[in-house]
Structure 1
Amino acid sequence: METWFFIIVSLCVSALVSSIFKLFKKNLPPGPPILPLVGDLIWLRRPVSELEFILRRLRTRYGPLMMLRIGRRKLVFIASHSLAHRALIQHGGVFSDRPAPLFTSKISNRTLKEISSAAYGPTWRLLRRNLAQEILHPARFKSYSSSRRWVLSMLVNRLLDASKSEISVRVMDHFQYAMFCLLVNMCFGEKLQEKQIKGIESVQRGLLLGFPRFNVLNFWPALGKIIFRKRWKELIQLRKEQENVLLPLIRSRLKRISEHQEDGAAVLAYVDTLVNLILPEENRKLDEPEIMRLCSEFLAAGTDTTSTALQWIMANLVKYPHIQAKLYDEITGVVGSSKSSQLQLIEEQDLQKMLYLKAIVLEGLRRHPPGHFVLPHKVTQDVELDGYMIPCNATVNFMVADLGWDPKVWKDPMEFKPERFLATSSGEAFDITGNREIKMMPFGAGRRICPGLTLALLHLEYFVANLIWIFEWIPEEGDHVDLTEKQEFTTVMKNPLRARISPRIRIH
């Protein structure tokens, strides 16, 4: 009996020692020590703009792969091109999941039926495939050409009206409104009145800009709802306002579809594609709140990112008139001179001949990525990266801006030089998807790469080309366009571009 007792005890001790050995054997990525609770509160209250400064300082000490601990969560940050490629391309399946949602995210998205937040699996594949094939496929782009022309004409008229009443024009508001009109039209199939557009834009922006204020509710939700009850009520109110604005539009569109009131030649809207989707894991259709969240995601993903990128590009063309002049020469070489002619917009097929335009857009995305981080990834199993073990369920993010500013990859990285993206002597175009290698990733990379990549590039090229062809963009008198590194830490410029715009052609 004693023999068996000692054997069992020995086996238990051996297993315990083996487990402890394995635990310490895990060579986790380096990072700063954090005091429990105190450290958690410090990190949670940090805005993203400050976090980026801190991570950049930590990188000089710990290297391009580092880990922060917040409570039980392990946050891994990657700032290396080769490591990003290894993670997102070579180990794509392991790095393609999303971390568990925060408490505030569950309030606005209870079932997590969004492409950006859904777990990596059948439901995510269905939603992403639907968007990619039905709305974002290049073959579908032509059907939205009239919408783009309508929005561009509206933007031109708004800029002209503003230039008549102001010495210089603050352009960001006009860019955001134009992009929002375009995305609303693609989402609901309607050209809504300005009041309706403003209503949707207001509630969407309220949720987007308000969520950092609600972050404190995620630390201890049960207590936070009591201590910060005003913020809790504000979050609930924003959610209700979103329902009040978006649900009537969805119901109106679905009613028209069910009653067969749509013209046979009508353009397919995003909401149309969501009606009959069958969720593979639940064998049911999407309910109204889930359709609303997908529509909200569609609007948010394509508005601020594209309008911010457009503003940065135009700001550089204002700051560097020789680049603007070179682009204008390329445009006139393709479509002819615009001087003393009637307003004619550049057609989308002409964009394919404008290589310098494409280089300018890519350089704008490299130098000023709209987002300095991607949406967080979660690893589904332990995986080794550069000699370190990334533990299962760790949250992983990538320092997008730093990848595009790395002097080891880019010569004079803080300079705006579109020429670096002109095709080489081999004629090989730059691979922005990062499948071959990752040099920059403004749209992410791998299996979770932004599905709207191609559409975003088209919108940027289309609007930049027409805005340069129709107007000459001049800095505000006595003004200095601030494109310093300090400006890079906000998703929207702290001092939005103001410029004088001079029409190159007669506009009636």
Structure 2
Amino acid sequence: MLHPSKIKSFSEIRNWVLETLINRLKSASESEHSVTVVFHFHYAMFCLLLVFMCFGERVKDEILSDILRVQRNRLLSISRFNILNFWPRVTRIFLRKRWEEFLKLRKDQEDVLLPLIRARKQVKESGLNNVKSVVSYVDTLLELELPEEKRKLSEDEMVTLCSEFLNAGADTTSTALQWIMANLVKYPDVQRRIVEEIRDVMGEDSNGEKKEVKEEDLHKFPYLKCVILEGLRRHPPGHFVLPHAVTEDVVLNGYLVPKNGTVNFMVAQMGWDPHVWGEDPMEFKPERFLNDETFDITGTKEIKMMPFGAGRRICPGYNLALLHLEYFVANLVWNFDWKVPDGGHVDLSEKQEFTMVMKNPLQVHICPRI
């Protein structure tokens, strides 16, 4: 699913999602002076883009709402149910109501996702699949076989994997998108410089209408890439990567990391380290990446920040995430002028949900860019 050819096959869907998002924002801006954009971002990334990539079709709004509801409920309850992983025989007795609540959420999830999985399976088995249709995530799960057990995935396993795909790909990206746009509102000079860079490359149609910034043009915008990287450095959606463990005793810089010891990487603090980023690491300065020609987001040469992790355990979807952020940020600032509403301000306070989100969601005044 994350091979470049597969990612490219969804370009038309990304264009459709972009048009839908722009129309929703335009409609909201005409009826409201101040628009809370996070709901629109999450709808675009989760309900439209990731749901299509997962199930290979556009689904009705009521089904989208159901998917969003069950996934959101499950996502926000993760920490509450963590204790159930330990001594399940004991917790089933002493935390019976919490187990019932967990199983109810799981049942709701299955009721919503299983019909979509079965519908996709029926299409594949009937041979009615459109020749031009994309290969969805569910398609790959249906074809997968576990070699040691010599069996296909069960429906229960596919529900879990679809849930992981949806949450991992949507929540992090919509969170990062909101943080980046918040800084573009807070620092209008940065926003203006992106627009100038796009204008120098794209120009305008003869009738004065804006052209879409196409995916194949994104490599022409070095400053845009710097803005995305600075957004991920300053506001990584996850302040920790998933915990790791060592398989044997390791001595690192004089410290013993014992066998089976859990290792956590403090992603946010790495990106804010003044020894690496200078005296002003908390300032939003995309220019710092313009002067660093050797920087590599994968950490192959050196690790200055690792919003996607690094090495063999790096997030496999980091290229897709960067594409989505570059594509949507470019077109959002190319189509609209993003400003602080009268009497408002951009609050960069944080709070922890599944990702590190804005404590006070971004509210903006947007108008079509002339």
- TM class, shorter-length: over 0.9
CA distance, structure 2, for counterparts of residue 251 and residue 464 of structure 1:
35
CA distance, structure 2, for counterparts of residue 357 and residue 343 of structure 1:
18
Tell me the equivalent position of 2:35: 169
CA distance, structure 1, for counterparts of residue 351 and residue 222 of structure 2:
26
CA distance, structure 1, for counterparts of residue 78 and residue 144 of structure 2:
30
Matching of residue 201 in structure 1 with residue 64 in structure 2: no
CA distance, structure 2, for counterparts of residue 224 and residue 291 of structure 1:
26
Matching of residue 291 in structure 1 with residue 158 in structure 2: yes
- Is the alpha carbon distance of 1:338 and 1:171 closer, same or farther for their aligned partners in structure 2, counting shifts above 3 Å? farther
Structure 2 residue identity aligned to 1:404: G
Cα deviation, residue 269, structure 1: 0.7
Cα deviation, residue 337, structure 1: 3.9
Cα deviation, residue 219, structure 1: 5.3
Structure 2 residue identity aligned to 1:147: I
Structure 2 residue identity aligned to 1:487: E
Question: Any gaps of 5 or more consecutive residues in structure 2?
Answer: none
Tell me the equivalent position of 1:361: 228
Tell me the equivalent position of 2:59: 192
Choose the corresponding residue for 1:315, options 182, 190, 194: 182
SS in 2 for 1:275: helix
Q: Deviations 1:27-63 (Å, cap 9, x if unpaired)? A: xxxxxxxxxxxxxxxxxxxxxxxxxxxxxxxxxxxxx
RMSD: 1.7
Matching of residue 373 in structure 1 with residue 240 in structure 2: yes
Choose the corresponding residue for 1:452, options 317, 326, 331: 317
CA distance, structure 2, for counterparts of residue 205 and residue 303 of structure 1:
11
Cα deviation, residue 330, structure 1: 0.4
Tell me the equivalent position of 2:299: 434
Corresponding residue pairs, total: 366
- Is the alpha carbon distance of 1:363 and 1:339 closer, same or farther for their aligned partners in structure 2, counting shifts above 3 Å? farther
TM-score (normalised: structure 2): 0.95
Q: Where in structure 2 are the equivalents of 1:237-276 lying within 5 Å?
A: 237-276=104-143
- 2:6–2:135 CA contact under 8 A, matched in 1: no
Q: Where in structure 2 are the equivalents of 1:102-501 lying within 5 Å?
A: 135-180=1-46, 181-218=48-85, 220-337=87-204, 341-342=208-209, 344-411=211-278, 412-422=280-290, 424=292, 428-483=293-348, 486-487=349-350, 491-501=356-366
- Is the alpha carbon distance of 1:371 and 1:156 closer, same or farther for their aligned partners in structure 2, counting shifts above 3 Å? same
CA distance, structure 2, for counterparts of residue 220 and residue 278 of structure 1:
31
SS in 1 for 2:10: helix
Q: Where in structure 2 are the equivalents of 1:23-34 lying within 5 Å?
A: none
- Is the alpha carbon distance of 1:502 and 1:283 closer, same or farther for their aligned partners in structure 2, counting shifts above 3 Å? same
SS in 2 for 1:477: coil
Structure 2 residue identity aligned to 1:291: M
Tell me the equivalent position of 1:61: none
Structure 1 residue identity aligned to 2:213: I
Cα deviation, residue 355, structure 1: 0.4
- 2:351–2:359 CA contact under 8 A, matched in 1: no
Q: Deviations 1:461-506 (Å, cap 9, x if unpaired)? A: 00000000000000011112112xx52655211100000001115x
SS in 2 for 1:455: helix
TM-score (normalised: structure 1): 0.69
- 1:171–1:498 CA contact under 8 A, matched in 2: yes
- 2:210–2:334 CA contact under 8 A, matched in 1: no
Structure 2 residue identity aligned to 1:140: K
CA distance, structure 2, for counterparts of residue 183 and residue 302 of structure 1:
7
- Is the alpha carbon distance of 1:343 and 1:229 closer, same or farther for their aligned partners in structure 2, counting shifts above 3 Å? farther
Q: Deviations 1:258-288 (Å, cap 9, x if unpaired)? A: 1110111211111111222221332222111
Tell me the equivalent position of 2:368: 503
- 1:371–1:442 CA contact under 8 A, matched in 2: yes
Q: Deviations 1:307-338 (Å, cap 9, x if unpaired)? A: 00000000000000011001110011111147
CA distance, structure 2, for counterparts of residue 150 and residue 430 of structure 1:
33
CA distance, structure 2, for counterparts of residue 361 and residue 225 of structure 1:
45
Cα deviation, residue 423, structure 1: 5.1
SS in 2 for 1:294: helix
Larger Rg: 1
CA distance, structure 2, for counterparts of residue 398 and residue 385 of structure 1:
14
- 1:276–1:285 CA contact under 8 A, matched in 2: yes
CA distance, structure 2, for counterparts of residue 146 and residue 422 of structure 1:
31
- 1:367–1:416 CA contact under 8 A, matched in 2: yes
- 1:379–1:391 CA contact under 8 A, matched in 2: yes
SS in 2 for 1:234: helix
- 2:308–2:318 CA contact under 8 A, matched in 1: yes
Tell me the equivalent position of 1:95: none
- 2:202–2:211 CA contact under 8 A, matched in 1: no
CA distance, structure 2, for counterparts of residue 475 and residue 321 of structure 1:
10
Structure 2 residue identity aligned to 1:260: G
- Is the alpha carbon distance of 1:259 and 1:274 closer, same or farther for their aligned partners in structure 2, counting shifts above 3 Å? same
- 1:332–1:338 CA contact under 8 A, matched in 2: no
SS in 2 for 1:346: coil
Cα deviation, residue 184, structure 1: 0.8
Structure 2 residue identity aligned to 1:164: E
CA distance, structure 1, for counterparts of residue 74 and residue 352 of structure 2:
20
Identical residues among aligned pairs (%): 61
